Amino acid sequence: MSVTDVNDEFGRPLKDLRISVTDRCNFRCRYCMPRERFNEDHTFLPKRAFLSFDEIEKVVRSTISLGLEKVRITGGEPLLRKNLPELISKLSKLDIDIALTTNASLLKKNAKDLRLAGLNRVTISLDALDPELHKQMSDSNISVDSILEGIDEAVRVGLSPVKINCVVQKGVNEEEVSKLVHYFRGTGIVVRFIEYMDVGRTNGWQLGQVVPSENVLNHLQKEFDLVPVEPTNNSDVAVRWAHSDGSGEIGFISSVTSPFCGDCVRARLSADGRLVTCLFASGGHDIRALIHNGADEEILQKAIAAIWTRRKDRYSEIRSEDTAALPRIEMSYIGG
Ligand code: SAM
Ligand code: SF4
Ligand code: SF4
């Protein structure tokens, strides 16, 4: 199939697809899946509704023909999906960069198989090095040590670069910021600080809980000599800074105080095959139904192109009390 780039209503191409392979997770991070809402009364997707690996591959193939360059496997916790390396192996035969976002609780035992299957890069979510705080933030009994072992294993097997994502929340983990920078300095691992976002409707987000990236940077500059790094491409959502002595980089993802919708080239595919064109969307387009009705790659390509060309999303740029009242998909359903 030949490649025909598609642009949305604001001229943004479709370059990046985040694929959620499950909506389940073994953590209950309060900003994502607060336990009181994601408990035994919560209805997770039935596993029979999940897209199969062949179906995911079919969607990716069709989207590559629209100019797609990267996929990121996410969730929920993607390593809870059985036989994930099989999916990676299928995708690795396509001409595409493959990354994974994980809480790393199961990474130590899976990193090697994932690498052998063709995974290129991994991003690990780690909000605190302090064991008690990590336990509290993830609302799980999985130890920080096991996460750090997962990170070491990822480096050892050559999943490179390894990046760490830390969501900073006021009054919760601000103290962890400089500890993380110290810990990963000189390792080649990049830590990125993310502003706490109003994704979904269950986390009770309030603007007052957001720590603007600028404050995090100011705080770090008192301790470290940091210099700005020129962005290498427009769709890179992180603003990069480096230690002046060359001992590594850090990044800031400022979706609340400095939205980047203008350069947003991402679509998301839920585990049950809905194509979602914005993290803050209220719903998605049912691609699974098309596949089950026999759509081949060409039909899928046309359907996805039609969805993308009508896209007008720019939630973070127009965030207001009115937009806050709209329904929103949960992060664990579509992945970060
Ligand atoms: N379970 C995997 C993990 O945690 O890496 C993948 C899915 S998780 C939804 C993807 C990313 O979304 C994580 O880095 C997480 O920290 C981030 N995230 C979840 N809720 C968020 C929120 N309200 N604001 C900012 N980032 C959030
Ligand atoms: Fe699970 Fe990731 Fe959400 Fe935490 S952020 S609850 S690890 S899906
Ligand atoms: Fe992209 Fe929507 Fe986030 Fe804007 S708010 S950057 S359009 S996902």
Phi, psi of 21 (to 5 degrees): -105, -5
User: What atom of ligand 2 comes closest to residue 75's alpha carbon?
Assistant: 8
Q: Check residue 259 and give its pLDDT.
A: 92
Q: Is 203 in the pocket of ligand 2 (CB under 6 A)?
A: no
What's the pLDDT band for 115 if we cut at 50, 70, 90? Answer: very high
Q: How far apart are CA 285 and CA 128, in angstroms?
A: 36
- Residue 318 — pLDDT band, cuts 50, 70, 90? confident
In angstroms, how far is CA 206 from the centroid of its own chain? 21
Tell me which residue has its CA closest to atom 3 in ligand 2. Answer: 32
Any ligand 1 atom below 6 A from CB of 32: yes
Q: Which of 83, 87, 55 is nearest to 72 (CA)?
A: 87
**Is 208 exposed, middle or buried (CB count within 10 Å of its CB: 0-12, 13-18, 19+)?**
exposed
Residue nearest to atom 4 of ligand 3 (CA): 261
Ligand 3 centroid to 265 CA: how many Å? Answer: 9
Q: All domains of the chain, ordered by start, with CATH? A: 16-334 (3.20.20.70)
Ligand 3 test: best mutation among 10, 235, 266, 307, most atoms within 8 Å of CB? 266
The single-letter DSSP state of residue 188 is: T
3-state secondary structure of 48: helix
Amino acid at 302: K
- The structure's pTM equals 0.96
Ligand 1 atom nearest to 200, measured from its CA: 23
Residue with tokens 């800074």: 241
pLDDT digits (tens, 9 = 90+) for 116-158: 999 999 999 999 999 999 999 999 999 999 999 999 999 999 9
From CA 240, how far away is CA 229, in angstroms rounded? 5
CA–CA gap between residue 288 and residue 300 (Å, rounded): 10
What tokens were used for 257? Answer: 């105080």
Question: What percentage of the chain has pLDDT greater than the value 70?
Answer: 99
Ligand 1 lined by 336 (C-beta under 6 Å): yes
* 73: phi then psi, degrees, rounded to nearest 5: -90, 130
Pocket test for ligand 1, best of 22, 71, 101 (most atoms within 8 A of CB): 101
- Ligand 2 neighbourhood includes 33 CB (under 6 angstroms): yes
Inter-CA distances, 41 with 24, 158, 272, Å: 14, 41, 20
Q: Which of 26, 173, 331, 332 to mutate to test the pocket of ligand 1 (most atoms within 8 A of CB)?
A: 331
Ligand nearest to the CA of 317: 3
What letter would DSSP give residue 136?
A: H
Residue corresponding to tokens 């595409």? 96
Residue labelled with tokens 């970060």: 336
Binding site membership of 165 for ligand 1 (Cβ less than 6 Å)? yes
Name residue, tokens 């929103």. 328
Whole-number Å distance, alpha carbon 293 to ligand 1 midpoint, is 33
Q: Which listed ligand is nearest to 30 at the C-alpha?
A: 2
- How many CB atoms neighbour CB 105 within 10 A? 20
pLDDT at 307 over 80: yes
H-helix segments, the chain: 53-64, 84-92, 107-117, 131-138, 144-157, 176-184, 213-221, 287-292, 297-309, 321-324, 331-334
**CA angle at residue 146 from 140 to 148, to 5 degrees?**
115
Is residue 53 lining ligand 2, measured as CB closer than 6 Å? no
Q: What is the pLDDT of residue 2?
A: 66
Q: Is residue 165 a contact partner of residue 197, using CB atoms and an 8 Å limit?
A: no
- Return the ligand 1 atom nearest residue 332 CA: 9
The model's pLDDT over 45-77, given as tens digits with 9 standing for 90+, comes to 999 999 999 999 999 999 999 999 999 999 999
pLDDT at 1: 63
Which ligand ends up closest to the CA of 20? 1
Helix (H) / strand (E) containing 271: none
Q: How many other β-carbons are positioned within 10 Å of the β-carbon of residue 148?
A: 16
Is residue 182 pLDDT above 90, yes or no? yes
Contact 30, 137 (CB under 8 A): yes
